[in-house]
Structure 1
Amino acid sequence: MNLLFRPLVIALLCLLCLTGWSLPTWAQSDPADLSPQAVQEISDLRQKAFTASQTGQFNEAETYWSQLIDYLPDEAALWSNRGNVRVSQNKLAEALDDYNQAVALAPEQPDPYLNRGAALEGLGRWEDAIDDYSQVLALNPEDAAAYNNRGNAQAGLGHWEDALADYQTAADLDPKFAFARVNAALAQYQLGHADEAIRQFRSLTRRYPSFADARAALTAALWSEGMSGEAESNWVAVMGLDRRYKDLDWVSTVRRWPPAMVAALEKFLHL
Structure 2
Amino acid sequence: MSTRSGLLPVLCFGLVTVLWSCSGPIAEGPDMLLERARLRRESGQLQEAMDLLTKAIQMDAADANLYYERALTHAEAQQWDAAVTDYDEAILRDGAFAQAHNNRAAILAQQGKFDVAAAGFSEAIRINPEDVLAYRNRGLVYHDMGNYTSAIADLDKAVELDPAVHENWFMRGNACLDGGKLDDAVQSFTESIRLNPQHARSLLNRSHAYEQLGQTEDAERDLARALAIDPLVGAPSEPTPANSDDPEAPLLPIPEPTPAEPVTESAPTITPDPTAEEASGAAEPAAPVAVE
In angstroms, what is the RMSD of aligned CA positions?
3.4
2:140/2:254 contact within 8 Å kept: no
The counterpart of 2:26, out of the listed 33, 36, 48, is: 36
Does residue 157 of structure 1 match 2:158?
no
C-alpha offsets along residues 105-154 of structure 1, whole Å, 9 cap, x if unaligned? 11132221111111110111111111111111222111111111111221
Greater share of helix: 1
RCO higher in 1 or 2 (8 Å CA, sep ≥ 6)?
2
The counterpart of 2:66, out of the listed 58, 73, 78, is: 78
The counterpart of 2:116, out of the listed 128, 134, 155, is: 128
Q: CA deviation at 1:257?
A: 4.3
In structure 2, stretches of 5+ residues that fail to align are 7-24, 234-246, 257-278, 284-292
In structure 1, stretches of 5+ residues that fail to align are 1-16, 24-34, 263-271
CA distance in 2: counterparts of 1:57 and 1:211, whole angstroms: 34
Q: CA deviation at 1:163?
A: 0.6
- The aligned residue for residue 209 of structure 1 is 197
3-state DSSP of counterpart to 1:251 = coil
Q: How many residues align?
A: 227
CA distance in 2: counterparts of 1:178 and 1:82, whole angstroms: 32
- Distance verdict in 2 for CA 1:253–1:141, change over 3 Å: closer
CA distance in 2: counterparts of 1:54 and 1:214, whole angstroms: 32
- The aligned residue for residue 252 of structure 1 is 253
Q: CA deviation at 1:57?
A: 6.4
Q: CA deviation at 1:96?
A: 1.0
- The aligned residue for residue 128 of structure 2 is 140
2:170/2:280 contact within 8 Å kept: no
CA distance in 2: counterparts of 1:80 and 1:92, whole angstroms: 13
- Distance verdict in 2 for CA 1:42–1:234, change over 3 Å: same
Task: Determine which structure has more spread, i.e. the larger CA radius of gyration.
Answer: 2
Does residue 233 of structure 1 match 2:225?
yes
The counterpart of 2:174, out of the listed 180, 186, 191, is: 186
CA distance in 2: counterparts of 1:75 and 1:125, whole angstroms: 28
Q: Which residue identity lines up with residue 252 of structure 2 in the other structure?
A: V
Further displaced range: 76-85 or 96-105: 76-85
1:116/1:132 contact within 8 Å kept: yes
Q: Which residue identity lines up with residue 26 of structure 2 in the other structure?
A: P
The counterpart of 1:101, out of the listed 71, 80, 89, is: 89
CA distance in 1: counterparts of 2:3 and 2:201, whole angstroms: 17
Percentage of identical aligned residues: 21
